[in-house]
Amino acid sequence: VGDTPLPDFSARLARLRGQAHARDLAALVIASPPNLQYLTGFDGSTGLLVVSASGADLLVDGRYEAVVRRRVGAGELAQVRVRGLSGSLGAALAEALADVSPGSIGFEAERVTVATLDGWQEAVPHRTFTRTTGLVERLRAIKDAGELAVLRRACGKLSDVARSLRLWVRAGRTEREVAADIDAALLREGFDRPAFQTIVASGPNSAHPHARPTGRRLAQGDLVVLDFGGVLDGYCGDLTRMASIGQVQADARALVDAVRAAQQAAIAAVRPGAHASDIDQAARRVLDGHGLGEAFLHATGHGLGLELHEAPRLGRADADRAVTLETGMVCTIEPGAYVEGLGGARMEDDIAVTPEGCEVLTSAPRDLLIV
């Protein structure tokens, strides 16, 4: 866990209890791994957390039980009651709910499958299970000081990797070779792992937003999209820079400049109280002005945290219009434009919403890197 101070798990659990109480739920069952990690520090692949007014029970299987008991005892995890599974998960859930006051039990509708819910209902026949959405995710969207400190460090390290791109991006090398160099640099910088498969998309491949690195060799006149991220102490940073192999034709250069201007406009629009869709609109307006509105194939940004993509999403859907930015939110600002036959461009930085507007957490120069 590096030099990161322990999160205030009891404050997080208290906020979640408030949410459950406001919805008349006697308890909440949390199953999503990043939500379990946020609330308790437990970072295994499977487990259940039962949060009620009377406490919190963490249900883990035999792979995790001994370590979890030790870490709870050492104060490294939230102060939960640990329940191992002697029988089925359903049986353990029934035991954990036995002490909970009467009332319905909330579950994460986006996480729990119909089959899983059927199993729970069978094990706990006298309780009603009520679907909830985004309760923990909304808490996670506002980062506390400790989380912001980790994200700042992650973005600083990512920016250092970006400043070294000219060591690796060269004519004649394959996309895969460049991606491997970036991944090695992420590990040298101290990241636990890359946050996703590094994107190195050159020439015609750059016209596809989520191109995977191939054996294609970088060639004169290529635009190259370099999109990479790292996980540090559980938190994800995400950054994209553009390179060209030699000089590119004028319309490719104009594409890059338009995307940079769109990103600048989007960053300038960030402030508490703005709608998530306002940020997207600011970027889209600039690209529209360059005749590239149709070439902008994705949302302007996404929240960052324990997951690479989390709330808030900065897009143009009705759901994004309903989201208001708040101080402490952290997200990417990454407009792009993709034109078959010409190529693509994307520029991505990570920002934290502040009372004054935003703090840009990534610091690498945004100039087109001409190699």
Interface with Zn ion (CB under 5 A):
227, 238, 332, 348
In whole angstroms, how close is the CB of 199 to Zn ion at the nearest point?
A: 7
User: What does the CA dihedral 249, 252, 254, 257 come to, rounded to 10 degrees?
Assistant: -120
Q: Which is nearer to Zn ion, 233 or 348 (CB)?
A: 348
Nearer to Zn ion, 20 or 276 (CB): 276
Query: Please, what is the minimum distance in Å from the beta carbon of residue 332 to Zn ion?
Result: 4
- Looking at the Cβ atoms of 40 and 332, the one nearer to Zn ion is 332
Q: How far is the CB of 217 from Zn ion (least distance, A)?
A: 23
Residues 254 and 274: their CA atoms lie apart, in Å, by: 29
- Please, what is the minimum distance in Å from the beta carbon of residue 334 to Zn ion? 5
**Per DSSP, what are the bridge partners of residue 236?**
231
Closest approach of Zn ion to the CB of residue 286, in Å: 19
| Per-residue burial over 273-295, b = 16 or more CB atoms within 10 Å of its CB, e = otherwise | ebbbbbbbbbbbebbeebebeeb
* Closer Cβ to Zn ion, 181 or 238, answer by number: 238
Q: Is 345 in contact with 337 (CB distance < 8 Å)? A: yes
Q: Is the Cβ of residue 222 or residue 348 nearer to Zn ion in the bound state?
A: 348
Nearer to Zn ion, 281 or 332 (CB): 332
Residue 281 and residue 314 in contact, taking contact as beta carbons nearer than 8 Å: no
C-alpha–C-alpha distance, residues 27 and 47, integer Å: 16
**CA dist 69 to 49, 62, 84, 160, Å?**
14, 11, 10, 39
Q: What is the largest CA-CA distance in the chain?
A: 70
Cβ of residue 135: shortest distance to Zn ion, in angstroms?
Answer: 24
Q: Which is nearer to Zn ion, 147 or 348 (CB)?
A: 348
Residues 6 or more apart whose Cβ sits within 8 Å of residue 326: 141, 142, 272, 353
Which residue's structure tokens are 């640099």?
A: 185
How near is the Cβ of 228 to Zn ion at its closest, in Å?
7
* Closer of 16 and 353 to Zn ion (Cβ): 353
CA–CA distance, 127 with 143 (Å, rounded to integer): 34
For 236, other C-beta atoms within 10 Å of its C-beta total: 26
Do the beta carbons of residue 4 and residue 41 sit within 8 Å? Answer: no
Q: How far is the CB of 196 from Zn ion (least distance, A)?
A: 7
Q: Please identify which residue in the block is written with the tokens 């919403």.
A: 353
What's the closest the beta carbon of residue 272 comes to Zn ion, in angstroms? 22
Take residue 192 and report the two structure tokens written for it: 């636990």
User: For residues 72 and 162, what is the distance between their CA atoms, to the nearest angstrom?
Assistant: 39
Cβ closer to Zn ion: 108 or 238?
Answer: 238
Four-residue CA torsion sign, 1, 308, 284, 199 = positive
